[in-house]
Amino acid sequence: MIRYIVKRMVTVFVVLWMVATLTYFTVHVTPGDTATAILYSVGGESAVNSENLERIQSKYDLDRPIYEQYFEWVINAFKGELGTSYKYNKPVFYMLKLRVPNTIRLGLAAVALSVVISIPFGIASALHHNRFLDHVGRIFTLLISSFPSFWVAIVLIIVCALKLKLLPVGGMQGPQSIILPAVTLSMGMTAATTRMMRSSMLDVMSQDYIWAARAKGMKWNKIITRHMLKNALPPIITVIGLQIGHILGGAVIIENIFSWPGVGGLLIDAVNAKDTPMIEGCVLLIAFGYAIINLIVDIIYACLDPKVKYTGEDT
Amino acid sequence: MKKRIISILLAAVIGVSMLTACGSETKETISGAEGSSEAGAENSADEKVLRIAFPDTLTTVDVANVTSATMLKEVAGVCETLVHADEDFTLQPNLATEWKMTGDNTWEFKLREDVLFHDGTRMDAEAVKWSIEWELENNSAFAGSTYIESVEALDDFTVQFTTSQKTTDLPAALSYVGTVIVSPSSVNSDGEFVTAVGTGYYKQAVFDEMSGTFECVVFEDYWQPVETNVTRRVVRSITDASARSLAVQNGEIDIASDVPFSDLETLANSENVQVSKFNTARTYFYEYNLKKDTFQDERVRQALIYAINKEEIVSDVLLGVGGVPKGMLMDDMPWANLEVDTYDYDPDQALSLLEEAGYTDSDNDGYLDKDGEKLTLKLITFTKRPGCQLIVQATQGYYANIGIDTSVEVLEWSAMNELIQNGDFDMALNSAASAYIPTPAYYMDTYYKNNDIGYVNEELNSLLDDCKATTDMEEKYEYSKKAQALAQEDAAIFTPALYGAVFALSKDVDNFQYNAAAHDFIVPYETSLK
Amino acid sequence: MVNRKNYILYIGLILSALIVLVTVFAPFLEPYDPTKMELSQKFIAPCREFIFGTDHLGRDIFSRVIEGSRVSLSVAVTVVFFSAVLGVVLGMISGYVGGTVDMLIMRGVDVLLAFPTIIFALALSTMLGTGQTNLIIAITCIQWTRYARIARGETLILKNAEYVEAARSIGNNTVQVLRKYIFPNVVSKIIILASLDIGTIILYCASLSFLGLGAQPPSPDWGVMISEGKDYMQYAPWLTLFPGLAIAISALAFNMLGDGLRDLLDPRMKEMVRTD
């Protein structure tokens, strides 16, 4: 087990390093362009003139070859120093540290909401297999996964915040601010998890030992809780893990629309301002988070189902 | 057994996450000069809180950060500059009382002696020196925008500035938000800027870094008398235009700037929102790529301006938010020359000029061509100002009407800048604050003289130099007006529309005046709540 | 036979076919020129003359939505096609040959799967720039990994089957074995993934266009329409309403198609296929 974890961690670091390299050279800009981007972030277009450009180029030592800058960045990254954001003029790591808890909060809220809805719904769907409730469920999940989340967000804001005056428009001002973003974010995951729960339950329901228990006279309730759930849940874990990636991606847009101060919003602002250090930092962080979550998911799954090999093979 | 543990763990995780999600938010305050306010808790009869939406993300109170300085000076009213530009762009003494140029590169400024910082200490020459040096060191845009090289304290209330080049515009530069004066106590023992200890009517109470919310309360010992009933201001970052508007409609915010243009109609009859539009000193301007042969011919450049219906752009595309330019700049500027040719909408004139230049529809395909090649223009603009995309699309429409094929690219500003420098465009729509430094030469100096499009007019450049060299205001205006006339004749850069802003205010807001000389928007001290 | 079991497949099939027809016959279905600006008729609410109303530049929204289907669908199909081709080829090679090649390709897959598509596309756009072609490239660069995984998985199972051994023993080389024996069995899963993917890609493109990467004005891309109409939400909600519905219906159609196909071809196939 330990060996498995260690092996996976090594893979994670290798992958992260490759991700970092890919991102670095992807967002690399010419020295003149970097200087322009910094100045624009600092003071708008009025700040971009030749004198300021010269000062910036020498201050940040931008004339060095890209490889030199890259190696310096990698070494610093390992030390935890991810550079300074052009736009905010603060350490990238500091900004990320500030914003990460918010994204985690939002993500967890979305996951919790999704799980709370999808598991009972999925079970009910399975139990009423091919009857009315099941069909309703299938249509429902198909619908939810088809609507673009940013559109739903806009509609919800108008309806809930404005017309009904129930909820705030955005920002993070109290517990009620998290509701709309979490609901919108959880949509895709709810759909996928419900379907998975249903299909997993159906698999379990068709097993012989369930019928054996029924024949012995056990009540349905007990059968569900004692036997079915335990066996139906493991695949859900994997789906949840996969969906968290979707949530991280979706959070980027949702945070932007709801002005939720998280990492996603930071990334979009950074892309718009061509704030290269911040872009790199955000991407690295998100990749890292995703990798860790997948690792945890895989470990939990391995614990639950010893038939899974520890070599890291994908199914 | 293992499975049970796992399922318990899972349940615990879900439970915890739901708790954290529903738990109350704790504000991390950076400095607590005054206590923080739990929203609503203190909004009793004796507290009047003015809530303002700021269109940028607030991450710091460091005055070397221009966004932060803009918020501190203009929106919160916590910091001030030595000089102040009022609505008609004349410079007024503020923290400084008088100034004179003492040498080719030196200026002397005398300071007010009765100004106190929020920490109780007196503002003196040493403090001014400290502020300017801090900003010079930490604000990358400072030196190039102000030309300040160094500053010395000659005595307790006299400061000497040394500039890197001879400039008559230093006083104007000292109204720029980046030059606000703060006390050295703003910086803690680790050298970090933690509190904006300024001289304004309001002093910093709370800064919540995570949510970008800034609060300030009245400073009793402010150096001028002020009439307002507001006791506290709260500034919140809301970057999305419609979100700002919704926040006012929802009752969460009292003042929001740059809300969507259509709000003028939607909220016109609203009970709890007053919406008003203002003309700003900012312009939209088109630049031609003069490195291309197409634009060497003056007739082509003029024709393309005749083809655009500026009136319609302002009234229908910008929904009335903005102004039709009578020249290069906004009408109210004292140095604006309103008697220049603006090539007003005349599609027939456009077509005939183009024909003279050799562009006709010789193959009857509906598009103009010359020497067998179709006239195709690449229009580029940037994302930050919503009006830009609208104007460019409208331009596309007008050019399609007279048979010119166009393609559009909307990019982020520095990407657009890169295209301009590489000459990879035909026309670029940009936007600039024409009174960023409120002098008659600033705008043309920055965009007409120092340009990347290959535009050179020696006569224009020398007029601008003369304008900058003289200290006499009337002379400055004269030179500037002549320069504007020349530039308009050249038609290498032109203003299709003047930038307007729409403000949404809650019905309770009183005494809000808009000052076009502001960098973004100023909430005057006198603004109060009914 | 349409029974209660596969109604989803049929609805999906009909809807998808309708959408494809709309895309093909778009020029005939559009009552107006989707890109012609006509300021005098801006912001007209839906009425008989303009079924979906007009937008801020006076353009007919119904025509734009129809034209937009061409944009969305062509991008989605292009992406899915190239992703599938690239992914299947690399996946089959990886699974069949094994060894270092397999490890290298899988590491590549891991790297690209290390973060959600949108993040990668965002980062890539700062390098490539805006525009539809770049969008296609950006998304394809990640999407092929989903196909590669499935293809590799199937290949791993199949390569030890008896008939494959037999094929090898009678002299087929690697390419022939892959082409004649392994590929046909991989195809069914790939088709299911592809049809589900079209819906997903339509949503990705809409999101990225909404953020400003991708199609440029005056292109009637649905995501761009929603982004442009967002600021007029209270004033003229039809600018965002109809493009949003169009996206939803298109995605729904292909999701139903893929779902139905999966039930038909491989009802026991785990939901894992939908690894997006």
pLDDT in tens, B59-101: 889 998 888 999 999 999 999 999 998 888 889 999 999 999 9
Give the distance, in angstroms, between the CA of residue C192 and the centroid of all CA atoms in the same chain. Answer: 12
A13 to chain C: closest CA residue: C111
Question: Residue B48 and residue C49: Cα distance in Å, rounded?
Answer: 52
Classify residue C45 by its DSSP letter.
P
Question: Residue B204 and residue B183: Cα distance in Å, rounded?
Answer: 13
Question: Could you tell me where the DSSP H helices lie in C98-231?
Answer: 99-113, 117-128, 132-158, 162-169, 174-177, 183-210, 222-229
Mean pLDDT of the B508-525 span: 83
Using a CB-CB cut-off of 8 Å, the residues of chain C touching B394 are 37, 39, 57
Contacts of A among chains (3+ CB pairs under 8 A): B, C
pLDDT score recorded for residue B393: 93
Q: pLDDT at residue B185 above 80? A: yes
Q: pLDDT at residue B331 above 70? A: yes
Q: Which residues of chain C have pLDDT under 70?
A: 1-5, 114-115, 125-127, 266-276
pLDDT in tens, B91-110: 999 999 999 999 889 999 99
pLDDT score recorded for residue B15: 56
Selection from A40, A97, A98, A96 nearest residue A281 by Cα: A96
Mean pLDDT of the B499-503 span: 90
Query: Could you tell me the pLDDT band of residue B12, with boundaries at 50, 70 and 90?
Result: low
Successive 10-residue mean pLDDT values, chain A, 315 residues: 77 77 68 71 74 77 74 76 77 87 90 89 82 84 89 86 68 76 89 85 76 73 70 77 80 85 84 79 83 78 59 39
pLDDT in tens, B255-312: 999 898 988 888 888 888 999 888 889 999 999 999 999 899 999 999 999 999 999 9
Mean pLDDT of the B450-477 span: 89
Mutate: best of A259, A269, A279, partner B, most B CBs <10 A: A259
A101 to chain B: closest CA residue: B210
pLDDT score recorded for residue A47: 76
C41 to chain B: closest CA residue: B316
Mean pLDDT of the B112-118 span: 93
Name the residue facing B141 among A39, A177, A256 (closest C-beta).
A39
pLDDT score recorded for residue B87: 82
C274 touches chain B (CB under 8 A): no
Contacts of B among chains (3+ CB pairs under 8 A): A, C
pLDDT score recorded for residue A30: 53
pLDDT score recorded for residue B186: 92
Classify residue C115 by its DSSP letter.
S
C45 touches chain B (CB under 8 A): no
Nearest-CA distance A55 → chain B (Å):
7
pLDDT in tens, A25-80: 766 655 557 777 777 777 777 777 777 877 777 777 767 777 777 787 777 777 77
- Each domain of chain C, given as residue ranges in start order, spans 69-272
pLDDT in tens, B367-376: 888 888 888 9
Q: pLDDT at residue B134 above 60? A: yes
pLDDT score recorded for residue B21: 45
Task: Give pTM, 2 decimals.
Answer: 0.85
pLDDT score recorded for residue B83: 94
Question: Residue C106 and residue C91: Cα distance in Å, rounded?
Answer: 9
C205 touches chain A (CB under 8 A): no
pLDDT score recorded for residue B479: 93
As to burial, measured by CB atoms within 10 angstroms (0-12 exposed, 13-18 middle, 19+ buried), residue B149 is middle
Inter-chain CB proximity B397 and C37 less than 8 Å: yes
Share of chain B above pLDDT 90, in %: 53
E strands, chain A, are none
The CATH architecture of the domain made up of C69-272 is Orthogonal Bundle (1.10)
A274: region left, alpha or beta (phi > 0 left; psi from -120 to 50 alpha): left
Task: Answer whether B184's CB lies under 8 Å from B121's CB.
Answer: no
Of B113-117, B132-136, C152-156, least confident by mean pLDDT is: C152-156
Top-confidence residue, A227 or B150: B150
C263 touches chain A (CB under 8 A): no
As to burial, measured by CB atoms within 10 angstroms (0-12 exposed, 13-18 middle, 19+ buried), residue B476 is buried
Name the residue facing C216 among B242, B397, B410 (closest C-beta).
B410
ipTM of this complex prediction, to 2 decimal places: 0.83
Give the distance, in angstroms, between the CA of residue B342 and the centroid of all CA atoms in the same chain. Answer: 25
Mutate: best of C39, C42, C60, C127, partner B, most B CBs <10 A: C39
Mean pLDDT of the B509-529 span: 83
B311 touches chain C (CB under 8 A): no
pLDDT score recorded for residue A314: 41
Using a CB-CB cut-off of 8 Å, the residues of chain B touching A90 are 59-60
Query: Could you tell me the pLDDT band of residue B32, with boundaries at 50, 70 and 90?
Result: very low
